[in-house]
Amino acid sequence: MSWEKNVRTVVPYVPGEQPKELNVIKLNTNENPYPPSPKAVAAIQEIDPREYTKYPDPEALLLRKALAAYHGLKTEQVFVGVGSDDVLSMAFLTFFNSKKPILFPDITYSFYDVWADLYRIPYELCPLRDDFSIDPNDYMRENGGIVIANPNAPTGRMEDLSMIEGIVKANPDSVVIVDEAYVDFGGTSALPLIERYENLLVVQTFSKSRAMAGMRIGMAFGSEKLIQYLNDVKFSFNSYTMNAPTLHAGAASIEDDAYFKEQCAKVIATRERTKKALSALGFTFADSKTNFIFATHRSVPAAEIFAALREQGIYVRYFKKPRIDNYLRISIGTDEEMDTVLAFLKTYLAGR
């Protein structure tokens, strides 16, 4: 068909499976195993029904002000969107408008190349070292922009802030996006650097540490200039990306800092315990600062372990991709869930 020649064809991103059964152990999409702040839930229940009738605030001020106050920023330094996927996609569209290739690691969040293809942005992959670390020299050449997930996904590894700063500093002619989806689980945020570097955009999300993946809230922090450019593109696309209940729930979550810190500490404690247990079972992994562990077994292929877990109703993530096809990405669940997984792995591996 001739019209098909004009279609914007893309190979879409494939999100982790969302099983319909309820009695599974779901450790495949890095969700939080705990509920969100009760104050966030209450905020939705208490909403005035008239808010459903009207369009939501296109400026999303309730949430942006809460985020600005929390981080000691101006509201004009904060952008929000429908999950950080929306924020990142908008940032790619806004800032990566050069003929020079954008740069990101060969092993990283697998949506980056999809957005680059969708928006026809040229890109080059910078291979991670064998220990999954970044070689900063890869980012010291001409480019149309840079994206780094820190801590990285799916590896879980975190780079020092000094390295991130070095990359931002060496690239004043490009926007550098630091994707901090997992930073609240023990990482160090690049957020303080936005006051010094006009070209740095720090992206975060409510989906992991705030247990609100279903609400879809992501945010970006940067110089007022960067945020203004992002807003111009957003308002050229869809003014009302954030719905009213989401704005209320997000602001309430930010205000409940004690709950937030407590839940993050719980996930971190379970992760550290799980690391020890996985090591004892013959797994190795980069030291994770996230809510998942990216592990490989010394003798049993990842694909086989994945299939065996799946048969037990335990969902983890397996990427059939070069360099990482012998790894499993295991999200951190509750202590009870991790105990079930570890007990199964112990029996399964002993029987092999």
Q: State the residues that interact with ligand PMP by CB under 6 A.
A: 83-85, 109, 149, 153, 179, 181, 205, 207, 213, 218
For ligand PMP, which is the closer residue by CB, 212 or 345? Answer: 212
Shortest Cβ 16–ligand PMP spacing (Å): 8
Shortest Cβ 11–ligand PMP spacing (Å): 17
Shortest Cβ 87–ligand PMP spacing (Å): 8
Shortest Cβ 292–ligand PMP spacing (Å): 9
Shortest Cβ 85–ligand PMP spacing (Å): 3
Q: What are φ and ψ of residue 201, in 5° steps?
A: -115, 120
For ligand PMP, which is the closer residue by CB, 92 or 109? Answer: 109
Look at residue 202 and give its three-state secondary structure.
strand
For ligand PMP, which is the closer residue by CB, 211 or 345? Answer: 211
Shortest Cβ 205–ligand PMP spacing (Å): 3
Output the furthest CA–CA distance in the chain (Å, rounded).
61
Cβ pair 144, 152 in contact under 8 A: no
Calpha distance 136→126 (Å, rounded): 10
Calpha distance 293→272 (Å, rounded): 10
- First CA to last CA distance, the chain: 53
Using CB positions, name the residue nearest to ligand PMP: 83
Shortest Cβ 218–ligand PMP spacing (Å): 4
Cβ pair 274, 332 in contact under 8 A: yes
Calpha distance 332→330 (Å, rounded): 6
Calpha distance 247→249 (Å, rounded): 6
Cβ pair 95, 144 in contact under 8 A: no
Shortest Cβ 132–ligand PMP spacing (Å): 14
For ligand PMP, which is the closer residue by CB, 56 or 154? Answer: 154
Helix or strand holding residue 337 (H, E)? helix 335-350
For ligand PMP, which is the closer residue by CB, 167 or 300? Answer: 167
Cβ pair 217, 63 in contact under 8 A: yes
For ligand PMP, which is the closer residue by CB, 213 or 349? Answer: 213
Task: Select from 119, 120, 115 the least CA-distant residue to 147.
Answer: 115
For ligand PMP, which is the closer residue by CB, 144 or 151? Answer: 151
Please give the structure tokens belonging to residue 267: 């996930």
Instruction: Calculate the CA 98 to chain-centre distance.
Output: 25
Find where tokens 């980069």 sit.
286
Shortest Cβ 13–ligand PMP spacing (Å): 9
Q: Which residues have CB under 8 Å from 317's CB, separation 6+?
A: 16, 28, 29, 154, 328, 329, 330, 331
For ligand PMP, which is the closer residue by CB, 238 or 279? Answer: 238
Number of helical H runs and strand E runs in the chain: 11, 12
For ligand PMP, which is the closer residue by CB, 155 or 223? Answer: 155
